[in-house]
Amino acid sequence: MRHISDASINHFPISGAQVGPAVLISVVLLFSGACKAFQATSSDTSSELQGGSDASCRIHRPLAGPTLYDCTGVADPARVGQLAERAIKGLGFPSREGPRNGDYIFVGRYYLAWIDNTGFSGKLNGLWSLNGQIESLDFSLSEPTHVGRRPISMLLPGEDGDGQWPRAYNGAEHYEIPRFKNGRHDSQAGIREANHFTDAPQWWRQCINANNNPTRWDNPIGVSKVVLGNGEITFQNEAPLTIVARFHEDSFACGTSYPVNDHDTTDLRLATAYTMYANRPVISRHYQMVNAGDQPVANEGMEKLIGGQLLTDWPHPHYLKQYQNYIAWNGDDLSRYSPLNYLGEGQSGDLINVHGAGRLILSATPELQDGRSIGMIQNIDHAGEDFGICLCIVHGGFEFTGSVLAGQHLPPKSDASPSRGMEQIRTITLERRRNSAVTKQISSVVLQAEDGESDWHQVGSRDGNGWSVGSNPGKNDPGFLFHKRSVAQAKGNVGQAIFYLEIDHVDGVDEPVLEIDLLSNGKINMAKKTINRRDFFANHQLQRFVLDFQAPDNGIIEPRVRWLGGAWLKLDAVVVNSVN
């Protein structure tokens, strides 16, 4: 595999632990039509270019933490920095994996976006809808917690605030191009990125998971560039397409340059860009193939770029982001969709719904609502291209799916100049409410662990703001750290129970330490999860663990935490949020 980006590693003062509130605003630059182009960083793989004129965006370039492009028009830059900080913290990622130094945050009137450039290549890994009100700019979608409201990303990574990546996707967007050898489908080409797959089939994991060095989260992939325009900023990336999945024993090896036939390869790159707008609730996604090698690319038929954005987990969609509820094709009129039962019960294969081109709107709510409705437009329809949705149970995501860049024919490079194919654009639309319908409130109950006595707690003791149980292997019997507390629910409510937990040592034996579950009316176990020691990211740091549910009947649900008898653990609170 060719790493264009290796030279840049030493230039970023990367320290994953420094993403935080105090560092977001340390350098403020202003660019406008009068400013000259300037180099953004000391890196030779990332640069900024002045595009149009009359733009007025502030650039906050912190010593640590992502570079912030503030195009909101909000007078107080600290206000925008606070929004970015809340968005970053709300994802719950370990500092190395979340928004950090080397990455970009864009903020306009209608959205805040995390463009990842460490471990991923110019990828939109977080997207938050904003209310468009300059005087009181705020998130459109957030949920109650026991310590204020948490903004919720419209994309899958970190949507639950528990620092989780999609289980078998590279961040919030995937790309793949089928490759053929010996007359059969041999493998997939794509971009090798940092994420690791958990329960994907082995032929996907073998290449993606080959590099398990923690430093894989530190590096840019390919070459990135930021172009400052007129009321818009474009985040570009160009990265090599190499083999990322193998289907046969004799398939092309992981990381092989793009095979153009059974024997020859070429340096084919995927050039992508996101254009973000200061005053429009849309995002343009650009795709282009670039041949920087010596062999011609002559793709036919199925040889096209397959991919799309990951909106939410599947079959566990975020309770406020059930985009499968309502759908509109080529118009504004949402109709009930819900092709599958909640949590995909009975689903045996991926459910795909695609058109050749057009406009698609998805909504969790019957009327468009900021942060809970999203759309996509694909204009061009080359032979065999399509776009739509996949409720993909195999890879674990609800995605905008389909394909672009079909039938690309690219000559080899000429002298030093690569040949470039045509550019194709998809438009992501952040659909917004167009009437004054009242939004249904989230119902929220906070259960503080420090409240109650032995009736709530079988083991442990009050410990400041929570309830803890000490490590005493071999002596303590397992028992409930928290139980017998109920929250009323109406039949059909969907929601999430959020457990705020802490451990003393992450680095001990990686064994099960806790079980969390949810009972309905004292008997039906709606959801259950076993938590291992190394599911915690850091020592003595509060971390969210969540269980999704749909109430099967009117009555009560009981969130429980069962200690398995080994490790020191502390519960701060359990929050139960739901909507109907």
Binding site for Ca ion (CB under 5 A): 116, 118-119, 448, 465-466, 572-573
Q: Going by C-beta distance under 8 Å and a sequence separation of 6 or more, which residues neighbour residue 432?
A: 110, 132, 281, 368, 369, 370, 373
DSSP assignment, residue 14?
A: -
Q: Cβ of residue 65: shortest distance to Ca ion, in angstroms?
A: 12
Radius of gyration of the chain (CA): 24
Report the distance separating Cα 296 and Cα 265, nearest Å. 9
Q: Cβ of residue 436: shortest distance to Ca ion, in angstroms?
A: 38
Nearer to Ca ion, 3 or 432 (CB): 3
Nearer to Ca ion, 323 or 499 (CB): 499
Nearer to Ca ion, 99 or 281 (CB): 99
- 255 pairs with which residues across the strands? none
Nearer to Ca ion, 119 or 375 (CB): 119
The closest of 455, 484, 482 to 468, measured between CA atoms, is: 482
Nearer to Ca ion, 423 or 450 (CB): 450
Q: Cβ of residue 375: shortest distance to Ca ion, in angstroms?
A: 27
Q: Cβ of residue 68: shortest distance to Ca ion, in angstroms?
A: 16
The closest of 364, 423, 361, 360 to 387, measured between CA atoms, is: 360
Nearer to Ca ion, 122 or 418 (CB): 122
The closest of 204, 245, 240 to 220, measured between CA atoms, is: 240
**Is 271 in contact with 236 (CB distance < 8 Å)?**
yes
Q: Cβ of residue 119: shortest distance to Ca ion, in angstroms?
A: 4
Nearer to Ca ion, 118 or 170 (CB): 118
- 467 pairs with which residues across the strands? 462, 571
Q: Cβ of residue 535: shortest distance to Ca ion, in angstroms?
A: 20
How big is the chain, counted in residues?
Answer: 580
Q: Cβ of residue 99: shortest distance to Ca ion, in angstroms?
A: 7
The closest of 485, 466, 519, 499 to 577, measured between CA atoms, is: 499
Nearer to Ca ion, 100 or 179 (CB): 100
DSSP assignment, residue 214?
A: G
Nearer to Ca ion, 245 or 573 (CB): 573
- 164 pairs with which residues across the strands? none
Nearer to Ca ion, 55 or 449 (CB): 449
Backbone phi, psi, residue 79, to 5°: -60, -40
Report the distance separating Cα 152 and Cα 141, nearest Å. 6
Q: Dihedral of the CA atoms 78, 84, 86, 90 (nearest 10)?
A: -170
What pairing do the DSSP bridges indicate for beta strands 555-563 and 479-482? Answer: antiparallel
- 518 pairs with which residues across the strands? 527, 559
The closest of 477, 448, 441 to 462, measured between CA atoms, is: 448
Nearest residue to Ca ion on Cβ basis: 118
Q: Cβ of residue 218: shortest distance to Ca ion, in angstroms?
A: 8
Q: Cβ of residue 120: shortest distance to Ca ion, in angstroms?
A: 5
DSSP assignment, residue 576?
A: E
Nearer to Ca ion, 100 or 321 (CB): 100
Q: Going by C-beta distance under 8 Å and a sequence separation of 6 or more, which residues neighbour residue 267?
A: 2, 240, 257, 258, 291, 292, 293, 413
Q: Cβ of residue 346: shortest distance to Ca ion, in angstroms?
A: 36
Q: Cβ of residue 171: shortest distance to Ca ion, in angstroms?
A: 8
Q: Cβ of residue 449: shortest distance to Ca ion, in angstroms?
A: 5
Q: Cβ of residue 480: shortest distance to Ca ion, in angstroms?
A: 17
What pairing do the DSSP bridges indicate for beta strands 223-228 and 46-50? Answer: parallel
Question: How many CB atoms are located within 10 Å of the residue 444 CB?
Answer: 17
Q: Cβ of residue 376: shortest distance to Ca ion, in angstroms?
A: 24
DSSP per-residue string spanning 318-331: -TT--TTSEEEESS
The closest of 351, 360, 375, 313 to 155, measured between CA atoms, is: 313
Question: How many CB atoms are located within 10 Å of the residue 452 CB?
Answer: 15
Q: Which pair of structure tokens corresponds to residue 278?
A: 């200061």
Nearer to Ca ion, 548 or 572 (CB): 572
Report the distance separating Cα 209 and Cα 366, nearest Å. 40
Report the distance separating Cα 139 and Cα 5, nearest Å. 34
Nearer to Ca ion, 96 or 372 (CB): 96
Helix (H, G, I), strand (E, B) or coil at 90: helix
Nearer to Ca ion, 244 or 297 (CB): 244
